[in-house]
Amino acid sequence: MERELTPSESLKLIETMIGQAKQSFQRNSFYFMLWGVLLIAAMAVNYLMAANGDPRGSYAWGVVGIIGGIASVVHGAREGKKQLVSSFMDRVMLWLWMGFVATLLISLFGGATAGHGVPVGSIIVLTGLPTFVTGQLLRFRPLIFGGILFWVLGAVAFFVDVQATALLYIIAMVFGYLVPGYLLKRQEDGLRTA
């Protein structure tokens, strides 16, 4: 690797190496599957308990928030140790999702504290943003469609009752998080599915 390079060889080498380093090196599927399962469970518990007149179902959100938060941090720390390279794209995605979580928590606590609750439709619409952008960054269609689905179902949720909204939320989570997360895992595992 010590001989003199011609300018065109230099350019070719730069292109090849930049191409090698441009991809995301992180495995992201874990988070979609984890949060998909947890949030569907929380909505199901919340819905069933509310249907039986028990308002304590809303605690389910706090419980899954804590479980998911701890699991995400532990998993992230472990993966981070294994990672040979940290890319800009991984950093963009990290802060995109951190920003999303901050926005979500402020909306949830703000709405709950002020006493008028948070429209679930807004939460679904909001979830579409990081999902769609992640899909575009990874060039992974199931997540792009997942993000669009969040937007569409979130918009519909503004016009339907609480029961139908809960159902829309679960559908959005299954096809926006769970299924794309599973397909992404297969892709990360080296199986071409998307």
Residues found near another protein in the complex (CB under 8 A): 1-5, 7-8, 10-11, 13-14, 16-18, 20-22, 81, 83-88, 91
Residue 168 CB, shortest distance to another protein, in Å, is 39
Residue 36 CB, shortest distance to another protein, in Å, is 29
Residue 84 is classified by DSSP as: S
Nearer to another protein, 24 or 127 (CB): 24
Cα gap 148→51, rounded to integer Å: 30
Half-sphere exposure for 132 (CA within 13 Å, toward CB): 13
Cα gap 126→158, rounded to integer Å: 13
Residue 29 CB, shortest distance to another protein, in Å, is 21
- Where on the phi/psi map is residue 161: left (φ > 0), alpha (ψ -120 to 50), or beta? beta
- The residue among 133, 170, 140 whose CA lies nearest residue 46 is 170
Cα gap 64→179, rounded to integer Å: 20
Nearer to another protein, 21 or 112 (CB): 21
Residue 57 CB, shortest distance to another protein, in Å, is 43
Nearer to another protein, 86 or 193 (CB): 86
Which residue matches tokens 């304590």? Answer: 56
Cα gap 139→94, rounded to integer Å: 17
Nearer to another protein, 9 or 54 (CB): 9
Nearer to another protein, 22 or 141 (CB): 22
- The residue among 90, 94, 41 whose CA lies nearest residue 65 is 41
Nearer to another protein, 4 or 161 (CB): 4
Residue 22 CB, shortest distance to another protein, in Å, is 5
Residue 93 CB, shortest distance to another protein, in Å, is 13
